[in-house]
Structure 1
Amino acid sequence: MDQFPTLTTKRLILDQIKTADIPNILTYAGNIKIAENTRSIPHPYLEENAIAWIQIANAGFKEKDNYMFAIRLKDNLGLIGAIGLDINKENNRAELGYWLAEPFWNKGITTEAAKAIISFGFEELQLNKIIAVYLTTNEASGKVMVKNGMIKEAEFKDHDVQRGYTIADNRYVSLIQYRMTKNEYESL
């Protein structure tokens, strides 16, 4: 696949993140609630963070080890979040990750986007397994996994460090991991 794929669902377009998306990225990813509910989005979120993230996404696609999609509503093509697969080529699996802007929470958007990405992972990338983890404080993220047929696989106590404003603000967070194998996907 030489050109970045575009996936469509009933309400969404999932496509490549662009520099034109930086204003939306700053507005939405800059919300403290996004940082509090994810493992890797810093707060404050600066333009340099957005630029670096887009560069990482582009490099990942080039190397075929990371597919990061913008989430867009069909009726308003501005970026409202992101979803992607971080590929572990050696083991033919990927980690699903996502975030969605707060104004769009509780509308089924992430569930819809995740379904498309899971299908892409198994059907286009021919992965054997997709995992996803969420912070124990973000149960809504776990519901996305359950609604997509993923199976709880593990709990990790004080597993990651969530970065704060200063080193003193760093804290350990616990994670819950879900999975779906190719066979489980095919049996749905």
Structure 2
Amino acid sequence: MFHNIMRETFSRNLSAKSAAASGKRDADRANQDPRLLRRLLRAKDRMDAASHEAWPVARLAEVSDVSADHFAHAFKQAFGIPPHRYLLTRRIERATALLRDTKLSITDIAFQTGWESLGTFGRTFRDITGESPSANRARAKAAMQGLAEVPGCIVAASHRPDLTIAVSEKRRQTAAGIKKPSSKKEVP
């Protein structure tokens, strides 16, 4: 009975996330050139294959053979999120899997998934998943014992990070009332 309830919960969460995002994306994607979509998919596939590498928009645009500005706009229109957010999702998904499936240290996982700073990794992980990497590892280990009957792909899909709740450093500082001095001087 417990497993049936868990399956229903996972299914509801997964379908709610995908339904909300797919409606607008499908309409936007239908208006795009199929050749452009293939190029965008090529860049997306490259990010998926090497999410630990740095993928600035200029590099992705080069892979797609379009300008950087056009790439960023078209990617967001096609997939619903900017390229950098997509890359963050892939890195956090991989880190979550490594936390769950290995005994590697959190520092090793951070560097293997492309983060240059343990602090940035921890803060971004917490912003996206709502918990620290160590808390995520402990929860995943405990949950694996109760979810033996639920297929792994369902469990993984239900725990996919929701980047709409992630907060950037700039927004965090604005919300806290911290204002950094501007490096640009105003010209009268």
Measured against the shorter chain, the TM-score band is: under 0.3
Which structure's CA Rg is the greater one?
A: 2
**Where is the helix percentage greater, Structure 1 or Structure 2?**
2
TM-score, normalised to structure 2, is 0.24
TM-score, normalised to structure 1, is 0.24
